[in-house]
Amino acid sequence: MNGSWAVVTGASSGLGVEFAERLAADGANVLLVARRADLLEAVAERVRSHFGVLAETHPADLTDPAQRAALVTRMAELDVSHLVNNAGFGTMGAFAEIEPERMSQEMELNMVALTELTRAVVPGMVARGSGAIIQVASTAAFQPIPTMAVYAATKAYVKRLGVALWEELRETGVRVVVICPGPTETEFFATAGDDAVMRRRRTPAQVVETTMRALAAHRPLVVDGLPNAAMALATRLAPVALQARLARVVAST
Ligand SMILES: NC(=O)c1ccc[n+]([C@@H]2O[C@H](COP(=O)([O-])OP(=O)(O)OC[C@H]3O[C@@H](n4cnc5c(N)ncnc54)[C@H](OP(=O)(O)O)[C@@H]3O)[C@@H](O)[C@H]2O)c1
């Protein structure tokens, strides 16, 4: 059995489950992180029996600095070959009406936790001359989005950070890829409070396949799905006020 580990955050549902299964199928042991311990254990059980790898659960709320520190301590005891920074959520609605505490948690999880976990694994990966970091951003990263203003801003951060690290680590043997999914069939929209929006969705399997191909090709960033990629490219060409106005229309359809 391989001694290396893939750490997957947000591994209790959606994209995280798919990433964990894919990396386990490729032979990595998996450390599964999220809050819902029962769901993590079910994923771990499936992964052990299907792929014959080790699977450990690490229930944690990554908005809590102490719980993040405990995860970093556990990660330091493992040979981490892959880090998938996938845990995240989005708030939707008028900026002035979103609970301030929920917004802070969104920033803490989507940006601070992702950055701290990345910082924790990079030195070991550089020392070994290998490793892979998958940063889950979003097509929301490409433009300001009224009614999802904080979420889009956190994902723009993930995109910028990830691509900067791709370049910084390019000659160390450590690969970094930023994946920008568009609407995908997970619990994301229910958590955000509006499961009715954006009906045309991709599957987690498609997103993970897109990611793994981009990682293998050493690409810094990939948008999942051709229509999403075309939209992201077109967005970049528009003036910023138009970007925001169009995003508002799309977010409300
Ligand atoms: N679905 C989409 O349309 C879409 C599009 C673009 C980008 N994304 C991004 O994809 C990533 C995965 O989301 P998903 O679509 O798979 O949605 P999801 O099914 O809601 O999964 C989110 C995961 O994050 C975990 N999580 C949430 N809060 C957490 C916390 N405080 N501490 C630890 N873990 C936490 C959840 O587990 P627990 O609840 O058990 O903690 C869950 O495993 C997110 O970063 C999201 O922004 C999604």
Q: Domain boundaries in the chain?
A: 4-251
Q: Which atom of ligand 1 is nearest to the CA of 110?
A: 45
Question: Residue 205: is its pLDDT beyond 90?
Answer: yes
* Helix or strand run (H / E) with residue 82: strand 79-85
Confidence at residue 197, expressed as pLDDT on a 0 to 100 scale: 61
**What's the pLDDT score for residue 200?**
65
Give the tokens for residue 79: 């040979």
> Please, are residues 118 and 83 in contact by the beta-carbon 8 Å criterion?
yes
pLDDT for 251 beyond 90: no
Residues 77-101 have pLDDT tens digits of: 999 999 999 999 999 999 999 999 9
Contact between 20 and 32 under an 8 Å Cβ cutoff? The reply is yes
Q: How far is the CA of 103 from the centre of ligand 1 (A)?
A: 15
pLDDT at 5 over 80: yes
Q: How confident is the model at residue 149 (pLDDT cuts 50, 70, 90)?
A: very high
- Say if residue 43 is exposed, middle or buried (CB neighbours under 10 Å; 0-12, 13-18, 19+): buried
> What's the average model confidence in pLDDT over 13-38?
98
The band of 249, judged by pLDDT with boundaries at 50, 70 and 90, is confident
Which of 186, 194, 199 for mutating ligand 1's site (highest number of atoms within 8 Å of CB)?
A: 186
Q: 233 burial class (0-12, 13-18, 19+ CB within 10 angstroms)?
A: exposed
For atom 17 of ligand 1, which residue has the closest CA?
A: 188
Looking at residue 18, what is its pLDDT?
Answer: 98
Where in the sequence numbering do the catalytic residues fall? 151, 155
pLDDT tens-digit map of 30-39: 999 999 999 9
Instruction: Return all residues near 217 (Cβ < 8 A) that are at least 6 apart.
Output: none
Residue of 12, 116, 145, 158 to mutate, ligand 1, most atoms within 8 A of C-beta? 12
Residue 159 has pLDDT above 70, yes or no: yes
Instruction: Establish whether residue 184 lines the binding site of ligand 1, counting it when its CB lies within 6 angstroms of any ligand atom.
Output: yes
- Comparing 9 with 249, which gets the higher pLDDT? 9
Ligand 1 centroid–CA 113 distance in Å is: 13
Choose one of 21, 151, 188, 200 to mutate for the ligand 1 pocket test, by most ligand atoms within 8 angstroms of C-beta. 188
| Mean pLDDT, all residues of the chain | 95
pLDDT digits (tens, 9 = 90+) for 160-177: 999 999 999 999 999 999
CATH class of the region 4-251: alpha beta
Separation of CA 249 and ligand 1 centre (Å) = 24
Decide: helix, strand or coil at residue 187. coil
* Ligand 1 centroid – CA 37 distance (Å): 15
Calculate what percentage of the chain has a pLDDT beyond 70.
Answer: 97
177 within ligand 1 shell (Cβ under 6 A): no
The finding on whether 87 has its CB within 6 A of some atom of ligand 1 is: yes
What's the average model confidence in pLDDT over 205-209?
98
Percent of the chain with pLDDT over 90: 90
Task: Give the pLDDT score at 199.
Answer: 61
